[in-house]
Structure 1
Amino acid sequence: MRVPFIKMHGLGNDFVMLDARAEPLPPISHSVAAALADRQTGIGCDQVILLQPSDIADFAMRIFNADGGEVEACGNASRAVALLHGTKAEVETSGGIITIEPVGHGARIDMGVPKFEWDSIPLAYAMDTLDMPVAWEWLVQPASVNVGNPHVVFFVEDCDTVPLDRLGPLIETDPLFPAGINVNVATVESTESIRLRVWERGAGLTRACGTGACATAIAAMRRGLVGRETRITLPGGMLTIEWNDAGRIIMTGPASESFRGSFDWGDYA
């Protein structure tokens, strides 16, 4: 069975897009997703994105990280989906319904309302999620927020000096985070600008993470470090994050199509 795919990326965070909205595909397992994502023996990507029909939205988006694990949300993929779909739409994800809208060479995404309760992150036990009394070496007192998926955010003097390739997996798998966690290290450069690096749960170091940008911006806003709209600069480029008067997170940024192709499903199943 030959299956078409579209390779896309948002600020270098890349995706294999499978569109099953009109023609169904066989059930996608974690092993199939991991095989497709493998950069040596598969197509290669950070996430595999599966588009399907939905009973509660215009269509549904399922997200599989490079290790095959399914996750709730992906901001960069949402912008790529908006570009692919071509018009404004409501999209069902396991993290909730989001609204996508293509603008220019990218998209504007309504990512919904952030959650701050300790059991909504989730954490293993109750604590203040704005100023957490925990530390990993010199990474101390982070904030935690769920923006469709869970994030922990550390504000540091220079995020480029943090050995995130070593500390990221330690924090991601710490028992404090029963569902795992995305790890963000951020440097506030002004009241309108933040520099950010992200260790993504199930994917590792990434050039860009849309939900990480959202989580970091919201954490900085809650701490009074930036205003209600700010620029987040990641290794792959810049996103604009707004926390509007309705309490919803609005993310704006670019996305691109790289190429199209097809593969034999049996080679990966």
Structure 2
Amino acid sequence: MNLTFTKMNGLGNDFVFIEDLESEWALDADAVGWLCDRNFGVGGDGVILVRPATDTAADYYMLYINADGSLAEMCGNGARCFAKYVVDHGLVSSDADSLVIQTLGGLRPVTFTRDADGMLETATVDMGEPILTPALIPTTLPGETIVDAPLETYLGTMRLTAVSMGNPHAILWVDDVETAPVETIGPLIENHASFPKATNVEFAQVIDADTVRLRVWERGVGETLACGTGACATLVAAVLDGKTGRSATIELPGGELQISWPEGEHVFMTGSASEVFTGTIHLPEDGDGCE
């Protein structure tokens, strides 16, 4: 079976986009894993299906599937890439400067600027209100909020702040992200019993009151070059922990994002996205992963 795709990239967080306006594709975990394989497939951190919205308040529906086949409620870098895809491929009006994306984590309004050729240049995504109630993150850690809270592990006690941006995040403050044990502590906290749906894990270093350096261990993926929801959750944690103001530059291995959280308002993320290439690939027949 042949599949037409577009490779999209948001600060090194890359995705295999499939335009599915008839909602006919049902990719199982094997197919998604094969597509995301960097040796035998297209390569990517996940697959994103572009589908018609089922909510009348939205323009399109973004279904994001992690490389391991699990569904993700929301992906900030994916949302920026999604906006660029629908704008650059003419799926919205040529004079539009905003759209609403439906995700499993809710509706995400996006405003954007265009270049001289009408292509999307930068996108600002309304990431919604941060969720701080433990049961809704979800986490079983005790307390009304989980701010600088202890987490017991077999490697000792670790302190973290838990935030949901439509998907769960655990933020740890470190002295140096370059030497942080991301590949050891990341999966340990990701799959900790205190996070019943697992969690993304952020390792954050405060550079100054306006800048945070970040590495992210993504749930179901591993370490990635960037994570939009992780950057947003980290800014929220920084405010709650008294480490930065309500707006900061988040430096990730793949580039920078501008994150703001005005008092009493939603979190906003601004950054770029790019299209890498478009192609057609043949899905293997044996266990082809398509239903």
Same fold (TM over 0.5): yes
State the 1:13 CA deviation.
0.6
Q: Whole-Å Cα distance in 2 between the matches of residues 48 and 158 of structure 1?
A: 32
Q: Name the CA distance, whole Å, in 2 between partners of 1:218 and 1:60.
A: 26
Aligned partner of 1:101 in structure 2 is 111
Q: Is the 8 A contact 2:210 2:249 kept in 1?
A: yes
What is the match of residue 236 of structure 1? 254
- 1:66 partnered with 2:63: no
Q: 2:167 aligned with 1:134, yes or no?
A: no
Within-5 A mapping of 1:152-231: 152-231=170-249
| Count of residue pairs brought into register by the alignment | 268
Q: Which moved more, 1:99-108 or 1:70-79?
A: 99-108
* Equivalence for 2:135: 119
Residue type at the aligned position of 1:47: G
Separation in 2 of the partners of 1:103 and 1:78?
A: 15
Deviation at 1:184, TM superposition (A): 0.4
Q: Matched residue of 2:33: which SS?
A: helix
Question: What does residue 247 of structure 1 align with?
Answer: 265
For residue 75 of structure 1, what is the aligned residue in structure 2?
A: 76
Q: CA deviation at 1:66?
A: 1.0
Deviation at 1:38, TM superposition (A): 1.3
- After superposition, the Cα gap between the structure-2 partners of 1:186 and 1:125, relative to the gap in structure 1 and judged at 3 Å, is closer
Amino acid at match of 1:158: D
Higher mean alpha-carbon deviation, 203-212 vs 97-106, is at 97-106
Describe the SS at the equivalent of 2:127: strand
Tell me how far apart the structure 2 counterparts of residues 101 and 264 of structure 1 sit (CA, whole Å).
Answer: 35
Give the superposed CA RMSD.
1.6
**How many Å separate the matches in 2 of 1:125 and 1:229?**
28
Task: State how far apart, in whole Å, the 2-side matches of 1:139 and 1:72 are.
Answer: 29
Structure 2 vs 1, CA of residues 246 and 161 (structure 1 numbering), >3 Å: closer, same or farther?
same
Say if 1:119 and 1:126, in contact at 8 Å, map to a contact too: no
How far apart are the structure 2 equivalents of 1:224 and 1:157? 16
Counterpart amino acid of 1:96?
G
CA contact 1:79–1:109 (8 Å) conserved in 2: yes
Q: What's the TM-score, normalizing by structure 1?
A: 0.94
Say whether the 8 Å CA contact 1:139–1:154 is kept in structure 2.
no
Q: For residue 163 of structure 1, report the CA deviation from its aligned partner.
A: 1.4
Q: Distance in 2 between matches of 1:215 and 1:44?
A: 27
1:91 matched residue in structure 2:
101
Output the CA distance in 2 between the equivalents of 1:217 and 1:45. Answer: 26
Q: Percent identity?
A: 40
User: Does 1:8 find its partner at 2:1?
Assistant: no
Structure 1, 79-88 or 187-196: larger mean CA deviation? 79-88
CA contact (8 A) 2:150 2:157 kept: no
Q: Alignment partner of 2:44: what SS? A: coil
2:131 maps to amino acid: K
C-alpha contact 2:50 2:63 (8 A) present in aligned 1:
yes
- 1:124 counterpart SS class: coil
Q: Which runs of 5+ in 2 are unaligned?
A: 88-95, 115-120
Where 1:162 maps in the other structure, the secondary structure is coil
Note the residue ranges of structure 1 that are not aligned, 5 or more in a row.
none
